[in-house]
Every structure is written in structure tokens, then in C-alpha cells.
Amino acid sequence: MKGLFKGLIGILIFIAIWQVLAMMINKSIIPAPAETIRLLMEFLFSSHILLAAWETAWKVFLALLLVMLIGMPAGLFLGLSDTFYDMFRPIIMLIQSVPVISWLSLVIFAWGIGWKGPVFIAFLSLLPISILTTVSGVRNLDKNLLEMARLYQVPGNRILKDIYLGSLLPFIAAILDVSIGQAWKVILVAEYLSGGSGLGVEILRMRMNIDFPGVWALTLIAVLLGIVTERLIKLGLRRLSNQWTIA
């Protein structure tokens, strides 16, 4: 309860600062909280906006799924082989260093406007995080535990499941914790510049109509969706961790 109370106080302080800024600066740029929240509530009952939010959400989930399905096995493999890690590390660093705007130019030339570009850009932006975090997790495994498992001839599938994957659960949580917010940001920017539908496209439409309260309201929707997504995934990981421990 204390944590919830402190969180509410933080939200109230944020709204108060927002109100002061709206009063000091041109309200067409920073609308008042009441106006933005009223518009937010209207959007939450708009089928058009809800459909746009769903369009963005499934792109985020698809990008995260691809990152985990490809990044974790790649990180596991590279973490077990110093030779291959040294070979592929420069490529991973290169992918990590390329700015989003460069990927945007590439996907617009390749696929034009649509859903592929945002998903591809989010995937490439998050893949190095997934690989490098998994490599770190593999290298921090208890070597004595592995040696004991080999000594007692524990089956390979049990070693993979109980030792490798079980020990990597905190690192998986770390990957998702870092990636969720970043995925929403990248997808929204990519939609804004090259998407065919989604919240990013709606924010672009509001900007073109010089509707700053609409931009703020849509931004709040994206923030709320990001927070809800993060909480749901953390809850799922906590349950998975508990079941893994019991098993």
C-alpha cells in the first residue's frame, strides 16, 4: 500500500508540474492536463483509435517474439564458444551502432509503407541487446554445477532445461525489461515515418492537423500500453519462474 501511495503522489506531482508548464507556455504546444485527459477518454472509446493501438501492439509483440526466438539461441551459442563470439561480435556491434533513420531509409526502399518496416527495424534495434545479455548470462553460469551434472551423467536435455535455461531466466527478464519500452518507441517512430497504420500514423495525422492535444493524448495511450505490456510480461515471467522452480 505504501508503494501505491507513493506512486500516486508521484503522479500528482507530475500533473501539477504539467499544469504549471501549460499555464506558463503556449497552451497550443502544452495543453492542460484536464483537456488532454478528456481527449484521452474520448480516444479510449473510439474504435478507430483502438484499432490503431492494436495495430501497433501486435507489431511490438511480433518484434519481441522474433528477438527472443532468434536472439536467445544465438546468444546461447556464442556464449558457449569464444571463437564464434569473437567472430560475430563486430557484426553485432555494427548492427547496434546503425541509427534507426538509416534502417528506415533501407526498409522504405525495400518494402515501402507498411507493417514490415516497423517490425524489422524494432527487431534489428533490439537483437543485439538480446544476444549480448544472453551471452553474459551463459558466461555467468556456475561452472561447478555444470561439472557436477557431467560427473553424475545428467541427461543433456535436463542440463539445458534446468541449468542453462533455468539460470538464464533472470537474464531473460532483463532482456524483456529493457526491450519492451524500447520496442514501443521504435515501432512508433517507424510507424510515424514509414508505417501504413498504427498509433504512430495517428500521431503523424494529429501533427499534420496541428492538433497538439491529440498528439499528447495519443502519446499517453502509448505510454499506458507500454506500462500494461511490461506488467503483463513480468507477471508471466514470475509465474514461469515459480513453475520452473517447482518442476
Q: Are 163 and 148 in contact (CB under 8 A)?
A: no
Q: Are 114 and 196 in contact (CB under 8 A)?
A: yes
Cα–Cα distance measured from residue 90 to residue 104, given in angstroms and rounded to the nearest whole number: 22
In whole numbers, what is the pLDDT of the chain averaged over residues? 81
Q: Which residues contact 207 (CB under 8 A, 6 or more apart)?
A: 215
Give residue 26's pLDDT: 67
Check: pTM over 0.75? Answer yes or no. Answer: yes
Cα–Cα distance measured from residue 190 to residue 133, given in angstroms and rounded to the nearest whole number: 25
Percentage of the chain modeled with pLDDT above 70: 81
Write the DSSP assignment of 142-197 as a string of letters: -HHHHHHHHHTT--HHHIIIIIIIHHHHHHHHHHHHHHHHHHHHHHHHHHHHH-SS
Alpha helices, DSSP H, located in 25-99: 33-44, 47-80, 82-97
Cα–Cα distance measured from residue 176 to residue 236, given in angstroms and rounded to the nearest whole number: 11
Name the band, by pLDDT with cuts 50, 70 and 90, for residue 226: confident
Overall average pLDDT of the 122-127 stretch: 90
Residue 159 pLDDT greater than 70, yes or no:
no
Name the band, by pLDDT with cuts 50, 70 and 90, for residue 108: confident
Range with the lowest mean pLDDT among 9-13, 59-63, 73-77, 201-205? 9-13
Residue 244 pLDDT greater than 60, yes or no:
no
Residue 246 pLDDT greater than 60, yes or no:
no
Give residue 53's pLDDT: 92
Give residue 99's pLDDT: 83
Residue 211 pLDDT greater than 90, yes or no:
no
Cα–Cα distance measured from residue 218 to residue 188, given in angstroms and rounded to the nearest whole number: 11
Give residue 63's pLDDT: 92
* Most distant CA atoms of the chain, gap in Å: 72
Say which CATH topology domain 31-246 has: MetI-like fold (1.10.3720)
pLDDT digits 0-9 by tens, 18-32: 788 777 776 667 888
Overall average pLDDT of the 10-15 stretch: 80
Give residue 145's pLDDT: 63
Range with the lowest mean pLDDT among 69-83, 178-192, 224-238? 224-238
pLDDT digits 0-9 by tens, 60-107: 999 999 998 998 889 888 887 888 888 889 998 888 888 888 888 888
